[in-house]
A and B are shown apart, each in its own frame.
Chain A
Amino acid sequence: MEYVKCRGKCVANCSAVRCFTFRRESKKYLVKDDLFLSGHRACQGCGATIAIRHVLKVAGRNCIIVQPTGCMEVVSTQYPETSWLVPYIHVAFENAAAVASGISRALKVKGIKAKPIVIAGDGGTVDIGLQSLSGMLERDENVLYICYDNEAYMNTGIQRSGSTPLFAATTTTPSGKLSKGEDRPKKDIAKIAIAHDIKYVATANVAFPLDFMKKVEKALKISGAAFIHILTPCPPGWRIPESKSIEIARLAVDTCMWILYEYENGKYKINYLPTVKKPVKEYLLLQGRFKHLDEKDIETIQKLVDKRYEELLKLAEITIQE
Chain B
Amino acid sequence: MLILRQKTTLVNKTGGWRTFVPKFYKEKCIDCGSCHLYCPDSAIKRISEREYEINLDYCKGCGICSNECPTKAIEMILEEK
Q: Which residues of A contact B (CB under 8 A)?
A: 1-7, 9, 19, 22-23, 26-27, 29-31, 34, 36-42, 44-47, 49-50, 53-54, 76, 78, 80-83, 85, 209, 235, 241-247
A82 contacts B6, C-beta separation under 8 Å: yes
Contact with A along B4-48 (1 / 0, CB 8 A): 011111111110010000000000001111101111111100100
Given the contacts A34-B42, A39-B13, A209-B37, A243 and B8 also touching, CB distance less than 8 Å: no
The one of B6, B30, B46 in contact with A23, judged by C-beta atoms closer than 8 angstroms, is B30
Using a Cβ–Cβ cut-off of 8 Å, how many residues does chain B contribute to the interface with A? 40
Cα-based distance from A23 to B14 in the complex (angstroms): 30
Within 8 A of A (CB), among B49-66: 55, 57-58, 60-64, 66
Given the contacts A50-B40, A80-B2, A2 and B17 also touching, CB distance less than 8 Å: no
Q: Which residues of B contact A (CB under 8 A)?
A: 2, 5-14, 17, 30-34, 36-43, 46, 55, 57-58, 60-64, 66-68, 70-71, 76
Cα-based distance from A174 to B12 in the complex (angstroms): 35
Interface centre among A30, A34, A42, A44, by most chain B C-beta atoms within 10 angstroms, is A44
Given the contacts A7-B70, A39-B9, A82-B9, A45 and B62 also touching, CB distance less than 8 Å: yes
B14 contacts A38, C-beta separation under 8 Å: yes
From residue B32, how far is it (CB to closest CB) to chain A in Å?
5
Cβ contacts under 8 Å, A38 to chain B: 9-10, 14, 41-43, 55, 57-58
B9 contacts A37, C-beta separation under 8 Å: yes
Cα-based distance from A209 to B37 in the complex (angstroms): 7
The one of A6, A37, A47, A82 in contact with B40, judged by C-beta atoms closer than 8 angstroms, is A47
